[in-house]
Structure 1
Amino acid sequence: MPFLVPPHIPPGRLSSSPQPSLPVGDGLLLRPWRLSDAPAVLAAFSDPAIQRWHLRRADTEAEAVAWIEEWQSAWSTETNVYWAIVRLGDDGRDEVLGRIALRDLIPAIGYAECAYWVLPAARGSGLAPRALGAVRRWAFDEETGFERLELVHSVLNEASCRVAAKSGFLLEGVRRRGHLHADGWHDMHVHARVRGDGRPG
């Protein structure tokens, strides 16, 4: 059955090239995940604040490695894009501070959902909005081609609401009983930015 509208982002536009690293500035970088990052992932998902807003946890480095392998392979299928948020060191090494992702990609309509977490030691530094800005700029670039980015979080997650507001993601509404967490169903705030929205703030 033929489509009436051609895909907004043609299949293969993303996966035909390696997943890019994205500069954030001031020694920060978004880069693809490495298997050697497993200890940082294990530490993140052992944190109660991160566990509160997620459905899964990692109990061993082997489980963290399996997750990273999933994150790495998602680029080739154009279903999700995961980056490690890292601080670059003078010795050429880097330190993982968090994760940012575009999830549930629908390239045919230029849609993706933003998601992130930040390790405890890096919280309160404005890291999440800066990383989100780098991802937004890449996603809305003409060569990438996304048209709409959503950011969805529990109405109880005030920190994520501040990140969304600071990043210029407008609150569009509430998705009632939109997500099941460990403590039950949560209503979810739905924020979004579309191509052409003004500068954040």
Structure 2
Amino acid sequence: MRTDRIAAVLLAAGESARFGDDDKLMAAIRGKPMVAHVLETVASMAFAEMVAVARPIALAPVIHRKLERRGYTILVNDRPQDGIAASIAMAVEHLMPMRRVRGILLCLADMPDVPQTHYNRICLAAEDIRSVVASTDGFSSSAPAFIGRKHFPELQALRGDQGPRALLSHGVQVETSGAMLHDVNEPQDLPDWRPPSPPPE
């Protein structure tokens, strides 16, 4: 499917509980915040719409500015504790009236190593509004993923932090390396992370 029939949905509202007190999306990777890698790659493609679900601006001012500069419509999730499903449902509700949108490309802000070529492969594997196309490392299904418009009601009914995992597991699988699909949950997941030095004796 052509990208001009697809809405990119960037999920960037998580609590990052396992990362500690810092905002993991602002962690520096290759000279810029983690979130910048994803939002810039997605923005370089010709999507029908670009929607980002983020935390309130007071909690993520830099992220809001970067999203605005790149032309994203920002939806604020005031209850990130409700899990990824709430963010997805919020985005789908926003996009539902836009009939030209034939499906969504789900992108995660904590997956900084996904290249444009892989996003393109996912979109090209989608045939119509019934399509579901997931990424896989050969073991499990994950985002980035395309979900066609026919499944929007199912996405709106999701609850908790599992997201559309069951739906993705039954879709077309586009395989790539596990390194490319690596997501950052803890500080040690960062490519430049080093364990803290032991205190001097």
- TM-score exceeds 0.5: no
Q: TM-score, normalised by structure 2?
A: 0.33
Task: For CA contacts below 8 A with separation 6 or more, give which structure has more relative contact order.
Answer: 2
Q: TM-score, normalised by structure 1?
A: 0.33
Bigger strand share: 1
